[in-house]
Amino acid sequence: MPHRAYVIDQMISAKAIAARAEVLAREITAHFKGCDKLVVVGLLRGSFVFIADLVREIDLPVEVDFLEASSYGDAMHSSREVRILKDLRGEIAGRDVLVVEDIVDTGFTLHHVVNLLRSREPARLEVCALLDKPSRREVPIKATWTGFEIPDEFVVGYGIDFAQRNRNLPYIGKVRFTE
């Protein structure tokens, strides 16, 4: 994909993200209180920074596993075909599971992943998403916990990329094309 010229305008600061992650972690801790060990399933690649911050704030024993699903590739829009590129290493049957997603856009990826994981019969399965774009939803799915609801903007940073760039930004930024 040819690289178009763009600038990034800060949308959500690193400080705001950290504060929201603390609140979400407290709510998640309260919800799963008393569970033996919470299996936190991160959806790669965009959620890895959020997972790291979130699990450090969850006051429960946690196990972290990853699943990689893709419906975007290097594109800016979903292909609506969800492919599992990396599956979980561990079993989740009978266990409490928290799926952590970077952004819920059309809902296709999350819907597919949730159905896949529910078929493995976890005791409980909940979803925490850093960002939600409800205006783009094409599949009826909603995260149990959401960090921030955002408008229909193309965003990067805090683990979220554009063609494998900008994941390392400490904030969420809106991409603005200059061409």
Quote the CA–CA distance of 159 and 170 in Å, as a whole number.
8
105 is catalytic: yes
> What distance, in Å, lies between the first and last C-alpha atoms of the chain?
15
Active-site annotation holder among 105, 132, 152, 161: 105
Which segments of 71-140 are extended strands (E)?
A: 83-86, 96-104, 124-132
Which helix (H) or strand (E) segment is 16 a member of? helix 14-31
Q: What amino acid positions are annotated as catalytic residues? A: 105
